[in-house]
Structure 1
């Protein structure tokens, strides 16, 4: 199983702190229907997605976080059923905190 990566993102320093979560989300590629997937970590700038959708590095997708409208993101890397994605526009820190609190309250973290 080979991993597709963009070298500029293959680094230890991150643009933002990641929060470990288990959040059910809806995901779709442009022009397609929504699929249920899961986010296992999230930050203001991006997320790690677990999904059996075939995703391609450099392509856009839409992700719907609980309680929010769909947000555009871009696939940075893929490895099996996991993909690293960056939001087109970073999340406001208050939105990130809200999503993490909902996740903790649901007991899925």
Structure 2
């Protein structure tokens, strides 16, 4: 019999890059400001795409609160029009990621 193998770092990195199309209503806040409503349109273990009409800048710290979870810190990686790509300070645990994706609008997933 072969030895059990741990998931490789390559598997983890690959999964970090796997994005799921979602539509999730979230609350977001910039450092030192009040929460506002926004939506996430895709996400991975490492980050998310945020639709926002609030001005965000690359490198800005934001907090995002998914329904049923505490706020999580993220940094804005890019912005374009009314969208921003954000990277979680700490990647999501795969079970939390799967739960959030399952709870999103099923019509959004492709």
TM-score for the superposition, normalised by structure 2: 0.81
CA distance in 2, matches of 1:66, 1:47: 15
Greater share of residues in helix: 2
Ranges in structure 2 where 5+ consecutive residues have no aligned partner: 1-13
CA distance in 1, matches of 2:53, 2:65: 16
- Other-structure match for 2:3: none
The number of equivalent residue pairs is 95
Q: In 2, are the aligned partners of 1:23 and 1:108 still within 8 Å (CA)?
A: no
Question: Which contiguous aligned blocks of 4+ residues in structure 1 show a shift greater than 3 angstroms?
Answer: none
- Other-structure match for 1:88: 89
SS of aligned partner of 2:73: strand
- Other-structure match for 1:25: 26
SS of aligned partner of 1:22: strand
- Whose Rg is larger? 2
- Other-structure match for 1:4: none
CA distance in 2, matches of 1:108, 1:28: 27
Ranges in structure 1 where 5+ consecutive residues have no aligned partner: 1-12
Deviations 1:65-99 (A, max 9, x none): 11100000000000010000000000000001000
CA distance in 2, matches of 1:33, 1:108: 30
